[in-house]
Amino acid sequence: MVKLCELCGEEAHLHCDADSAFLCRSCDVKFHASNFLFSRHVRRIICPTCNSHTGDFVSGSLSPWPAKLTTCSSCGTFSSPASSCCSELSSSSTRKTASRATVNRSPRGREKRAKAVADGIFVNWCDELGLNGDSRNAVVSLATLALAVWKSRAATTKVILAAAFWFGVKNQNAREKTMTWPSTLKKVGDITGVAAGTIRAVESKLARAVTLQLRRCRVDSEEGWAENDNV
């Protein structure tokens, strides 16, 4: 059975155990280049013939794709008329990536790419949860806010994303009161692939971090107005 990329829906080329996610090459580059910790994840290559794991691994922010397509031991060496084209495409892609490296190397550039990938994940999860329109926009905005203030490295990427998503869903639901809390949390757990208890525990930390950040922003704003009044 063909594995599909969990971000774009195209055929997957790798599997990341740390995130429990199948990814195509393009999304793998975008996601694992967005953060130093993410780039250290080891990804397993999927056999293009039978869609099982080949036994080969890749790691690193630039997704060091092998020059030659490999298969699992059961399928043997994969060879097709497209092999040379794939090789040329890989070389061309590598050159283009290298030429853009200086542009995308800045922290702001990495943050933008990471945010774009995370937003895409949140939108997909909203669709699976049946949220759309203003509700979906609000959930994605709240989840992105929670993700932005998270500083701890004590949880995996997938857990953090799931907790941030639950933060958005819970707070949006508190406004609209359209879903019941326990059943919704269970659905979020099923959609994200993360245990409900884990989501709840990490989300509580995220919520505290968001509260503290908003409090600091409020204090800074009040101090700014006070300084203006004294001018």
Crossing angle of helices 181-192/157-176, nearest 10°?
Answer: 150
Mean pLDDT of the chain: 72
Cα–Cα distance, 66 to 69 (Å, whole number): 7
Domain ranges of the chain: 14-104, 107-230
Angle at 93 between CA 88 and CA 97, to 5 degrees: 150
Cα–Cα distance, 75 to 78 (Å, whole number): 8
pTM over 0.85: no
Of 134, 136, 158, nearest to 147 (Cα)? 158
Which tens digits make up the pLDDT trace of 152-165?
655 668 889 999 99
| 225 pLDDT above the threshold of 50 | no
Range in 17-21, 82-86, 106-110, 156-160 the model is least confident about: 82-86
Q: What is the CA radius of gyration of the chain?
A: 21
| 172 pLDDT above the threshold of 60 | yes
Exposure string over 202-218, b if 16+ CB within 10 A, otherwise e: bbebbbebbeeeeeeee
Q: What fold does the segment set 107-230 form as a domain?
A: Cyclin A; domain 1 (1.10.472)
Span between the terminal Cα atoms of the chain, in Å: 70
Range in 43-52, 102-111, 205-214 the model is least confident about: 102-111
Mean pLDDT of 127-137: 87
How high is the pLDDT of residue 169? 92
Cα–Cα distance, 136 to 122 (Å, whole number): 9
Confidence class of residue 87 from pLDDT cuts 50, 70 and 90? very low
| 222 pLDDT above the threshold of 80 | no
Which tens digits make up the pLDDT trace of 2-49?
788 877 888 888 888 777 788 888 888 777 776 666 666 777 888 877
Confidence class of residue 176 from pLDDT cuts 50, 70 and 90? low
Mean pLDDT of 89-100: 43
Q: Which residues are paired to 11 by β-bridges?
A: 4
| 231 pLDDT above the threshold of 80 | no
Output DSSP code: residue 61: T
